[in-house]
Amino acid sequence: MIAARPLRGLPPKHPGTALMGRFNCVACHQPGGTLIGPSLEMIVDRYADLPTRKTYLKGQIKKGSKGIWGEVHAMPPHDFLKDEQVEEIVDALFQLKL
């Protein structure tokens, strides 16, 4: 298992930030750099202008994804997360200070 680094740039008291740590999202998605998956900044940048960005990312988290960031990277589904938890994670993500 990859040790998680601090979630710098994310709102420290936001429930979604705590959930990212609890479910170890940063094992693949680091703030400030690419690890296994795209960095948190890359995700925010890619979808910043998409009107349905939050809905889209909630679906990607729950259902997983493949081929969006290249064929090598695939994210497994996280369908065990409650809808409210996914909502909090996505909300915290879009409060990331770039």
Domain ranges in the chain? 15-93
Architecture field, domain 15-93: Orthogonal Bundle (1.10)
Under 8 Å between Cβ of 75 and 60: yes
35 pLDDT band (50/70/90 cuts)? Answer: confident
| 12-34 per-position pLDDT tens digit | 889 999 999 999 898 888 788 77
* 96 Cβ contact list (under 8 Å, min separation 6): 9, 10, 31, 40, 41, 44
Mean pLDDT of the chain: 85
